Chains A and B, each alone.
Chain A
Amino acid sequence: MNLALAQLTWRQHRAVLITGLAWTLLVSGCLLAISDTSSLAGPVETVTIGGPTVLTLLVGLFLAAPLLPREYEQGTYVFAWSQDVTASRWLRLKVGYLLSAVLLMSVLISALHDLRASPVSHPFSMPMFEGFAPVQVAYVAFAFALGLALGALTRRTLLAMGLTLVGFLVVRAFVAAVCRRFYLPPLHAANLEVMPRDSTAVGIQFGAGPHGIAGVDYQPNDRVPSFQWIETGLFLTLAAGLLVLAWWLVRRREVR
């Protein structure tokens, strides 16, 4: 007996895994092909910019979200979970293999992306901030866990896919727009003139002062790496929580 469930997992998900791998290779090839200063408009550049995000959505929508609903909809959970392997072990093994596979793909794409992408002026927003490889890998883990948990909750493939898409975009946008600026308490300056050059304003108080500004909250740009690690940690934590939720939902049904 070789790796438990490896062959079954591959057989069940090979279509998405092959697609993911093909995409990974295509994006990697494009990233290696682009010159440093090529324009942002060409097809090769479009592929490289969208590369990580497409992989993330593929993983969330087409791999993780249908994983449980398909078993429920076709009734095959009755088969899969009445054998020697318990339902929770079945889930742990499958998640282990699939997550490892997609994280490897993500690491490859993101690392190359990180190395090859040119820096953009605004360090706290796309694509500069999120181009950091660990952040991208954490997004993939989050998308996978979100799809899996929504599949376990809804037991409907299409519903789970739709909710995963919406959920992923909303959480990402919310974090980027609202949370990210406050990962660490911002520093304060009296006005924009005295704010250090190499920093980003995250809040302005209007009132009595030059140009009607009473104070400025800002984050020094040298905090960006810390913030990127914090965001990585945040999404990995969310992913872990969702994986536990999915596991608990499946485990709950087990009798022996």
Chain B
Amino acid sequence: MGDQAEDLLAGSSISAEDLLAGSSTSTAVTVERLAKRYRGGVWALDDCTLSVPSGRVAALVGMNGAGKTTLLSIMAGLLRPTSGEVRLREGGERVSLVAQDRPLYRSFTPAEMLMAGRQLNEVWDQERAVRWLRRFDIPLDRPCGKLSGGQQAQVSFAVALGARPSLLLLDEPLANLDPLARREVTRELLAEVVDGDMTVLMSTHVIAELVGVADYLLLLARGRLLLDGDVDELLAAHRHYSGPRAQAPLLFGEVVQAKHVGSTSTYLVRADPEHPPVVEEPWTVRPATLEDLVVAHLESSRAVAA
């Protein structure tokens, strides 16, 4: 297995450890029983336990108010949790956060923002940061306050990457970017993942954009982890089964969601991907999309909570 991995990697700039990290248990960051209560009594996080495997591009998915931003802020060391703890990988993890509102010094030019990044960090890769700005045609000498929202986002990315993080936290990274820029940013970010040994944790609520981009999913609901796992494994484990209505519920796997429309019943079932349930006519099977299974888990958790 190790040899094959190494052979496969020949010609790519990724190391064998990166590949193996995908399947190993090494985690970049673990949070345990994390809770955060804001003034006014709102629990943004409530007994939240999860971990992000190293070398992955993990998606932190949840509705507004699920606690995504709070979790990222605590991981970035900006917010003190009410209780619980955050554990970074042994040997330390260089954490960079690109916050949702892209805070920049408005009077600073992008070049001066990079200077700020250099001054605030012990490790700084000016070339990498400048490369990012040039790639997206960001003027280096115009005050950030006069740049468009998309350009400001690019400056934030450049500063974050310049700090050479081993754990890059992105809060809604694609918000306020136009669709074309989204593709490009995604592509370039993933290329940076290949080039620098980096784990990415990105929050989003646009699930469709994650397919092919994220390889690990963390689904948050009401400040708690609802579902996590390798995206491919989750997709392989979930299927839609449709058949005539009023038939007894399927007795295999875990029914995540049951829908009855007209004369048809559809069940989203989570089962062992190696041995998927076999069904007879008139039942049909079709794969579930990432969006399907995220929505189904969110809805069923809401039903339980109600």
Contacts and interface: CB of A to CB of B under 8 A. Distances in A.
Interface in A1-41: 4-8, 11-12
Contacts of B103: 74-79
Given A74-B105, A74-B106, A78-B97, A84 B77 contact: no
Interface in A64-123: 74-85, 90
A11 B108 CA distance: 8
Nearest to B88: A256
A3 to B, nearest CB: 9
Given A11-B112, A74-B105, A79-B159, A85 B99 contact: no
Interface in B75-118: 76-81, 86, 94-97, 99, 101, 103-106, 108, 112, 115-117
A8 B105 CA distance: 11
Interface stretch (B40-48, B120-128, B285-293): B120-128
A7 B76 CA distance: 25
B76 A82 contact: yes
A8 B115 contact: yes
A75 B99 contact: yes
Contacts of A81: 77-78
A121 B292 CA distance: 88
Interface residues of A, number: 25
A7 B80 contact: no
B79 A255 contact: yes
A7 B119 contact: yes
B77 A255 contact: yes
B31 to A, nearest CB: 12
Contacts of A78: 73, 78, 97, 99, 101, 103
Nearest to A8: B119
Nearest to B145: A74
B74 interface: yes
A197 interface: no
Contacts of A82: 76-78, 95-97, 99
Nearest to B76: A82
B78 A83 contact: no
A255 B74 contact: yes
A235 B76 CA distance: 38
A83 B120 CA distance: 6
Contacts of A5: 119-120
Contact of A256 (B77, B116, B117, B156): B77
Interface in B106-160: 106, 108, 112, 115-117, 119-123, 156, 159
Contacts of B200: none
Give the interface centre of A75, A81, A254, A255 by most chain B CB atoms within 10 Å. A255
B219 interface: no
A91 to B, nearest CB: 13
A211 interface: no
Nearest to B121: A84
Contacts of B105: 12, 74, 76
A255 B85 CA distance: 10
Contacts of B76: 82
B88 to A, nearest CB: 8
A75 B101 CA distance: 8
Contacts of A256: 77
Contacts of B268: none
Contacts of B119: 4-8, 85
B163 interface: yes
A83 B99 contact: no
30 contacts: A5-B119, A7-B119, A8-B119, A11-B108, A11-B115, A12-B105, A74-B105, A75-B99, A75-B101, A75-B103, A76-B103, A78-B73, A78-B101, A78-B103, A79-B116, A81-B78, A82-B77, A82-B97, A83-B96, A83-B121, A84-B94, A84-B121, A85-B119, A85-B120, A85-B121, A90-B120, A253-B78, A253-B79, A255-B77, A255-B81
Given A75-B99, A255-B81, A256-B77, 5 more contacts: A7-B115, A11-B115, A75-B103, A84-B121, A255-B74
8 A-B pairs with the lowest CB-CB distances in the bound complex, closest first: A83-B120, A75-B103, A8-B119, A84-B121, A255-B77, A76-B103, A84-B122, A256-B77
